Amino acid sequence: MGLLVLSGVFLLLSQVVSSYRLNVFFHTLGYKLSHKSNHILYLVGMFYNFFIPGGIGGDAYKIYLLNKEFGWKVKKLSAAAFVDRFSGLTAIGMLLVLLMIPFVQNLGWFESYLVLYGLGVVLISFVPLIAFVFIQKLFGSFKTVFFKTLGYSLVIQLLQLASVACLVANFQVLQDLFSYLLVFLISVVLSIVSFAGIGVREFVFYQAADFLQYDKDISVAIGLLFTFLTALISIIGVWFLIKKATLRLVDH
**Average pLDDT value for the chain:** 89
221-233 as b/e: b if 16+ CB within 10 A:
bbbebbbebbeeb
Predicted local confidence at residue 196, as pLDDT: 45
* Residue 151 vs residue 110, higher pLDDT: 151
CA-based angle 106:109:110, to the nearest 5? 95
Predicted local confidence at residue 19, as pLDDT: 96
Q: Is the pLDDT of residue 97 over 50?
A: yes
Q: What is the mean pLDDT of residues 19-39?
A: 96
* H helix runs in 108-145, sequence order: 113-138
Its pTM surpasses 0.85: yes
Terminal C-alpha separation, the chain: 45
At 143 the three-state DSSP class reads helix
Q: Is the pLDDT of residue 206 over 70?
A: yes
Picking from 81-85, 155-159, 186-190, which range would have the lowest pLDDT averaged per residue?
186-190
